[in-house]
Structure 1
Amino acid sequence: MDTTNQMLTITGESTAELNVGDTHSPIRVIGNNAIRQTFDDQTLTQAINCRLAPGVSDVVLNPDAHVGYGAPVGCVMVSPTHVYPGPVGVDIKCSMSLLQTNVPADAIAEPTVRRKLIQAIGKRVPSGAGRGQRHVPKSRTVDGRLGFQVATEGASKNVLKKLGIPKDWAGRCEDAFHTAPDGSSDTLAARLEWMGRKRDSLDRLESKYRQLGSYGGGNHFGEAEIVHVDQDPENRAIAESFGLQHGHVAFLSHCGSRGLGHDLAMGQFGSMKSSFQKQGLAFPAGDSQLVYAEADSENGRLYLCDMAMGANFATVNHLLINQLVLEAFRDVFPSVQGNLVYFISHNIVRREDVGGQTQWVHRKGATRAFPAGHPGLARTPFAETGHPILLPGNPRDGSSVMVAKPGASHSAFSVNHGAGRRMSRTKAKKMLSQYTIDNNLTEHDVMSNCRQYPLDEAPDAYKDFAEVLASVKQAGLATEVARLQAKFVIKDGAPADD
């Protein structure tokens, strides 16, 4: 939009600034001219509201940015003192993971083979809002005791053993587990025990535990992809060090903390709003979705406890899905081997060093991007390369694996989490043609488990992925080491969890 570009000061080919007044540093904007046209005034207004909110020191707007819950989806919000539930969202630790197999691309060329894989996965991994293990015959059984452990311990050795997940996969996680602010899982256990004693809450908690190992609705998905490693020798070496295999099948997943995370987040929104009202405090910009707490206050500590439990559930949810998908592949290819490449979140708040100061980094639809040598990667397999960045585009145009460059410091060591919406769900359902979408995917040899692909999740409902990636590269934040080409998609048409 012309009005959008008039609000921005262009500082580079794919960088700009949004001025918010003399007393605050400007919002840093990542996006080339084509991407800047996708930022509507409401998105920019939400970004400004975030920057002017109490305790906020920095805001970054990524190329996938669009209107969200209080804060834009696709933004980074930094504060040394405050935590904000809105810039994390209700799907706590919604994340991406990538499983690399040794199945060659030509082994799944035939549609009949892909249909067998779709059916085998469907017998193990439910999809859709509210669905859990009871809906499929070959999932894992998760009772109340195990669910409690998952929420309070994350990907501990004991949890992984009980679920039959390889223990070394924990080392391939951005964070294998989360604790309370005091560093203890016992504090989380006491908090969850207290929740379970509330009227009717134990049954509800256990029903949410049973969603472990499942996809939600909306934009949650699993995709079988063919890996195309970049031919540049340096990029290829990095991709191979990640465990990526050129010309072989990988499985990309997008989901989060399911109903448990949603309930924990909504409980915190209600509690903080009530606290504001009792104290007579004004919401930032009059928006209750920007409710907040000082991190070291009681409300702040309780939020961080609940977020940690949702994040632990999301972590194990991904790991279990990957194990179940691998087992499904073995129904069709009995000797298949597979390894987790990486698991990385994009709805989380973490303590990180930003500008030489330890701060709370909120990523709402934004992905961590630590380059080689970053202290946060010390003693991990990625210390010398930077960690994998998993960016979903869409089934038609593919997805990407990137790695951060030192320039990522410009964006609080963050990049976009995908392509980002250009149409609301309502507009997509009104404007897009079912026939055109389904035919387009067929022409690109992409199958799905859907009789009709959801219009609000169609590729054309999202931004131009090529321009999004170009913006990231041109801004010097990251470089691409591999491209993923979708061959089939597991989705559900139910409303999104996030």
Structure 2
Amino acid sequence: MFRAPKLSSYYRPVSLPAGDVHVYAGEELYGAMGAKVFEMANNNLQIPAIRYMSYTPDVHVGVGTCIGTTAIWEAGEAYVSPSIVGSDIGCGMRVHLTNLHAAEIKEVKLRRKLVKEIEKRMPVEQHARGHFSDLRVEDVLRNGLHGLPKKYVPDAYAPRKATSLTHVENSRFRFDENALNRLPEPVWHRAHRQLGTLGNGNHFVELQAVEINEANRGTAEKWGLFDGQVVVMIHSGSRAWGGAVNQYCGTEVAKTMRRLGLGTADPKLVFAPTDSEAGRTYVDLMYSALNFATANRHLIAYAVREACRDTLGSPFEMRTLYDLMHNYACEEERDGRAWFVHRKGATLALPPGHPANPEPYAETGHPALIPGSMGTASYLMVGRPEGARNAYSICHGAGRIRSRSATKKLVTVDEFASSLRVGQEDEIVVNHRALEAIVDESPQAYKNVDQIIESVVGAELASVVAKCRPLATVKGV
């Protein structure tokens, strides 16, 4: 099935009482993982009929399951786990290409103005109302990007220029819409208010400058990248809707577990057969949350584009490079067989020529979007054929190494400011004047993203197409 590579400094299988977890990480990252990570793997491996489980180098402890997990079942005997998907269903990344060169926004004052305008268009407060009150949330839940009015997807009607509906992992997930009736009216109202909003934590909008990896320059140019190009990276998810789905279905799945006599040492790890009522309901509602998450990132991008046009003028362009998820479960085909694949904090990275690539990226392989932490670089990658051994899963970011509370105790505001080069010509502008409010998102809270990328490349799962240096960041609060 999934043939593991030879042992190397970037890969090792770890034998646990319940089975093997396949770990892709360099020596230093592997040595720092800690016992809890493997305790959680052992619990996950006790779910019936599981066929494969792996960790990416950014793995860290989560609720029920570690972030950085890929877990696979054969479709005919599959289990689905809200714990392995995670609470922020459909959380993922989006990158847009602009026609700007970083030199055009070199002035710190101009970047501050851009950040301020983005804040006006895109609320960053946790309970703020989005600016898209004319949208019907039920249309978004049922139809994803296809549920948005024409004015929010204008390029969809200009096929030669269109990227909004084609340059995405999935523009619409189909499901049994009767499942939507399971969630109460207040959840619908709250989800509607949150369309086009970031949320807090590690979610962000960032302006970045591209540095193409010479070894993959051909791929970069086919994607529309050039050195010094400004790109917009967005990280957000399904907001209140995904949270409500996780809470409701988690309770129902737990009831099914008790009825079937299932369980592990971790009561927070919940799972059920996909052919059970609770399992089917969760899959349906999860897909509705994936639709919400993709549309939410699209609307954030729409707001950013409008803000940049207000500041820079109408010649400003911003087309979709790609949108993908890193918290989800779905059926995938491999070697003529159907598999049910969970990814929690793991990114799909298909290689050139793989039949599952979207049509625009059939030749090159689709972009895999990997964010760094605040103040550090992000990466645009592409999968390699060897990635088949890990179901084409790679990292999803840097991965936390300490909690938010611990970070606030250990990292000073001055250290955080130094990481952002505050006061320097190349300062990374942020929307928070008081850095104390977001010190828990400082680079010191995360693993070294360059080591993460080195592990992925060293394990031959993917290669770097471009490195993206941060210029300005907008964070939620």
The TM tier, using the shorter chain, reads: over 0.9
Preserved contact between residue 207 and residue 233 of structure 2 (Cα < 8 Å): yes
Q: Does 1:432 align with 2:420?
A: no
The whole-number CA distance in structure 2 between the counterparts of 1:371 and 1:164 is 29
> Match of 1:5?
none
Structure 2 matches for 1:81-120, cutoff 5 A? 81-120=78-117
SS of the residue aligned with 1:87? helix
> Match of 1:269?
250
Q: Does 1:337 align with 2:317?
A: yes
* Aligned-pair CA distance for 1:244: 2.0
* Aligned-pair CA distance for 1:204: 3.3
Q: How many residues align?
A: 458
* RMSD of aligned alpha carbons: 1.8
Q: Does 1:372 align with 2:352?
A: yes
* Aligned-pair CA distance for 1:165: 4.8
> Match of 2:141?
151
- Return the match for 1:126 from 123, 127, 131: 123
* Aligned-pair CA distance for 1:128: 3.7
Runs of 5+ consecutive residues of structure 2 not aligned to the other structure: 157-161
Change (3 A) 1:78 1:375: same
- Return the match for 2:431 from 435, 449, 468: 449
TM-score for both structures, normalised by structure 2: 0.92
Preserved contact between residue 58 and residue 399 of structure 2 (Cα < 8 Å): yes
The whole-number CA distance in structure 1 between the counterparts of 2:124 and 2:390 is 34
1:128-157, CA deviations, whole angstroms, 9 ceiling, x for partnerless residues?
433331xxxxx32245xx11000011111x
Q: Which amino acid aligns with 2:54?
A: V
- Return the match for 2:214 from 225, 231, 251: 231
SS of the residue aligned with 1:154? helix
* Aligned-pair CA distance for 1:49: 1.5
| Superposition misfits of 4+ residues, deviation over 6 angstroms | none
Change (3 A) 1:436 1:42: same
* Aligned-pair CA distance for 1:164: 4.1
1:171-220, CA deviations, whole angstroms, 9 ceiling, x for partnerless residues?
1111111111xxxxxx31x332x246xxxx32431221121111010100
* Aligned-pair CA distance for 1:160: 4.6
> Match of 1:393?
372
TM-score for both structures, normalised by structure 1: 0.88
Q: Does 1:477 align with 2:456?
A: no
Change (3 A) 1:166 1:287: farther
The whole-number CA distance in structure 1 between the counterparts of 2:248 and 2:238 is 15
The whole-number CA distance in structure 2 between the counterparts of 1:347 and 1:385 is 24
- Return the match for 1:176 from 171, 189, 194: 171
Q: Which amino acid aligns with 2:451?
A: E
Preserved contact between residue 165 and residue 320 of structure 1 (Cα < 8 Å): no
- Return the match for 1:218 from 201, 208, 219: 201
Q: Which amino acid aligns with 2:144?
A: G
Structure 2 matches for 1:32-431, cutoff 5 A? 32-80=26-74, 81-133=78-130, 139-143=131-135, 146-156=136-146, 158-161=147-150, 163-167=152-156, 168=162, 169-180=164-175, 187-188=176-177, 190-192=178-180, 194-195=181-182, 201-232=184-215, 235-277=216-258, 279=259, 281-283=261-263, 285-334=264-313, 335-354=315-334, 357-377=337-357, 380-431=359-410
The whole-number CA distance in structure 2 between the counterparts of 1:106 and 1:114 is 11
Change (3 A) 1:47 1:165: farther
Runs of 5+ consecutive residues of structure 1 not aligned to the other structure: 1-8, 134-138, 181-186, 494-498
The whole-number CA distance in structure 1 between the counterparts of 2:331 and 2:367 is 20
1:52-72, CA deviations, whole angstroms, 9 ceiling, x for partnerless residues?
221211001100000011111
* Aligned-pair CA distance for 1:372: 1.2
Instruction: Report % sequence identity.
Output: 31
Preserved contact between residue 117 and residue 307 of structure 2 (Cα < 8 Å): yes
